[in-house]
Amino acid sequence: MTPSDDLIEMARHVMDSHRYLTLGTAEPDGRPRVSPVYFTHADYRDIYWVSSPTAHHSANIAERPAVALVIFDSTAPVGQGRAVYIDAHASVVDDAELPRRCAEAFSRGGGKGATAFGPHELSGDADLRLYHARATSHEVHIPGRDPVHGTGVDTRRPVML
């Protein structure tokens, strides 16, 4: 396994083994807003979550679709943290795309207690909508003490997923 393959595997493991991400959007005055959301993904590039269109982060996405995401294990011991940082463009899924996108978003289950929503639950008068973020870049967090990739200082390294 090459060092690059090792980082790709690390990124995939983080995305596959965690269910919450921190979604970063921009407020109208430019201040950042971060929100934890339960997510699923398809092929590491398409990230999905369900939210109310009246939530602050949803309104921010409607006006400013550029978002930043981070997926990480908050229980990792100091110096052993792993994270994936993702830049993406996000939007609410259009009603016409809901059947295909719901199938993609909820095909892997999602874990104990997760709901696999159907299109009828995310359209019309429903209180929730399906959101989609298409990744434009991925980076992995490298702890400074990492025995293979560490430099003494925590860094980020780009990966192609």
Rounded to whole angstroms, the Cα distance separating 139 from 161 reads 10
Count CB atoms within 10 A of the CB of residue 72. Answer: 17
Does pLDDT of 40 surpass 70? yes
Rounded mean pLDDT, 88-109:
93
Rounded mean pLDDT, 91-105:
96
Q: Determine contact, residues 82/14, Cβ cutoff 8 Å.
A: yes
113: left (phi over 0), alpha (psi -120 to 50) or beta: left
Rounded to whole angstroms, the Cα distance separating 97 from 101 reads 6
Rounded mean pLDDT, 46-64:
97
Rounded to whole angstroms, the Cα distance separating 43 from 39 reads 13
Does pLDDT of 75 surpass 70? yes
14, 121, 112, 37 alpha-carbon torsion, rounded to 10°: 40
Q: Determine contact, residues 12/18, Cβ cutoff 8 Å.
A: no
- End-to-end C-alpha distance for the chain, whole angstroms: 16
pLDDT the model gives residue 144: 86
Q: Determine contact, residues 150/144, Cβ cutoff 8 Å.
A: yes
pTM of the model: 0.92
Q: Is 150 helix (H, G, I), strand (E, B) or coil?
A: coil
From 15-24, 45-54, 78-87, 127-136, the region with the lowest mean pLDDT: 78-87
